[in-house]
Amino acid sequence: MANDYGAKDIRVLEGLDAVRMRPGMYIGTTGPRGLHHMIWEIVDNSIDEAANGYASEISVSLNRDGSCTVSDNGRGIPVDIHPEQGVSAVEVVYTQLHAGGKFDNKNYAYSGGLHGVGASVVNALSEWVEVDVYRDFGHYHIRFETRYNRRTKKMEIGKPVAPLEKVSNTRKKGTTVTFKPDPAVFEEVEFQYSTVCDRIRELAYLNAGVTFRLTDERIQDPAKRTVEFCFTGGLRDFIAYQIAGEDPVGDLIEFSGEKDGVRVRCAVQYTNTFTETTLSFVNNVPTQEGGTHEAGFKSALTKVFNDYARKLGALKEKDNNLSGDDFREGMTCILAVNVRQPQFEGQTKGRLGNTEVKPAVEAVCAEHLTLFTENLKNQEAAQRIVDKAMTAAKAREAARRAKAQVRILKETSATPLVGKLSSCTGRDASKNELFIVEGDSAGGSAKQGRDRRYQAILPLRGKPLNVEKKKLDQVLANEEFRSIITALGTGIEDEFDMRRLKYNRVIILSDADQDGAHIRAILLTFFYRYMRPLITEGHVYIGMPPLYRCQKGDRTVYCYDDREPEKAIQKIGKGYTLQRYKGLGEMNPEQLWETTMDGANRKMMQVSIEDAAAAERMVTILMGDKVDPRREYIVQHANFNKVDTFIDRVNLEGGAANGR
């Protein structure tokens, strides 16, 4: 009975059971992002050794059996018996939540780990984990497994097979951890090489002089399995990598300093672009959602350059100060801080919350930026930054007027949507879907084939602007983008409000050819630049229409890449007909519904941002002004007959969303 609720109903989760029951609390998600977060938890431990001067080499291996190995040449996890737990320190670290050497400043001055749960969480969510420790002239080994105990009839999570044992004598130092993610926990357990490689490269930039190696044992050619990164220039090299293909404005601004225990490193480079890219890190951990360290830097930049603009006379006494957005237009910034006791929002460390960090970072940045503007050799560069900001301020005012016009249009019966948007009848935004469809022909089929209760169709008439090359007022003058903004209802940039989103899923539906890929790239770039929360919160999808239709009598098989028709023909037998769809417009409404729009049968790719630095660089390369970097990348990666087309690699790491 409902009122028969007592102490017997209170469940106590022991050991690592809590992690297994609610993995999302510890790694964010059981999708691809959470899977790769397992690697970062172990790598962060090696990074902490390197950042504190104990390690110079870190290696990551993606193994053929689906496991991952992370090793370093640091001090090695302590192997002696823990005085309170009565087992080795290695066993404590991997079986006890909130156990580690990072709760004081004795062993690590700065650490990416705070909660002491990283190693134990990896153990809890793996089929097995093996740890090899090299220290005190000995090689020590222990293995943990998750398995069903037939005697107790319970799952044993991350239990040691045997106590830590000494294998041999050695002069080697360091720690090697191998783990295999459990498919019972994760939606998919295959590590993506590009995701791991981007992060390893990023860590090499942030830790100048430390050698990082990545080996993919799944690659057949031994000569291509291993890549090595070591950058002596640190943030300077990182900036150069990020802005590849853009024209710099002035020289690089680079400085470092420390105040109140907060260590600050910063590199800033302006280019001729219109977008701002700020990549921030705390103790080597990327903070994609920013935090107090970013706030401190931005405050200092705005104040110093406003003061300089007044000193130059560019701003008169009666003039208002320029905004921070004006001074950050075209800026690429790498901000790396070290904090002794970082307070992250959540274990996945997306945003820094330490209030004391803002004034410390602001003071260091203000001091060095002031020195930059006062140095005679930097006068031309500083002047160009002010001139660029003044131009940005004028464009901002034009964009403000354009935004106001868009709001007026939205409030007057959605004027730009008349004759375009076929809305759905349902009013529950959490269930509704908006298909942005390439072309009137495909749009017509989609309108006829859809489920009108929850599916809306917005056809695109012509190719929208490439927003990477345009200012905001030009973007808002484009009818296609005004229609999208009005249809979604969220507003853009600083006015963006997710609570006003009218459709839970925004699905881009374009042809599987070069033009379709280009339109998909343009739309993804628009969402990335002006409605980024749509992507980060998982609302943007790529529709995946079939390329072929194989039919015999009343039996039909749809094929989604060039490899599938052969299998379909073998399955369906002789006397078949094979149709190659050149575009969505060749499908009748029933076929489009059956293959691409029916939630029970369709295939979709969810768009996500796994690595902000990689996403920024790919958007710049693929959508920027420079032709050579784009051509080089397309030649290397493009295959327009595969689902994994070149733009999908920009900021797509989501798994298939079948039936969603």
Question: Which residues are tagged catalytic?
Answer: 438, 511, 513, 515
The rounded distance, in Å, linking the Cα atoms of 83 and 492 is 57
The rounded distance, in Å, linking the Cα atoms of 253 and 289 is 24
* Cβ burial 197-232 (10 Å sphere, 16+ → b, else e): bbbbbbbbbbbbebbbbbbbeeeeeeeeeeeebebe
Count of other CB atoms within 10 angstroms of residue 82: 16
Closest CA to 396 of 516, 480, 267, 493: 493
Closest CA to 118 of 146, 82, 94: 94
3-state secondary structure of 437: strand
In which residue are the tokens 């375009």 written? 420
| Partners of 69 in the β-ladder | 61, 178
Residue 121 backbone phi and psi in degrees, to 5: -65, -45
The rounded distance, in Å, linking the Cα atoms of 356 and 76 is 33
- Let me know: does 594 contact 587? Beta carbons within 8 Å: no
- Strand (E) or helix (H) holding 59: strand 57-62
Closest CA to 160 of 99, 76, 93, 78: 93
> CA angle at residue 108 from 102 to 113, to 5 degrees?
45
CA atoms within 13 A on the CB side of 119: 25
By the 10 Å C-beta count (0-12 exposed, 13-18 middle, 19+ buried), 380 is classed as: exposed
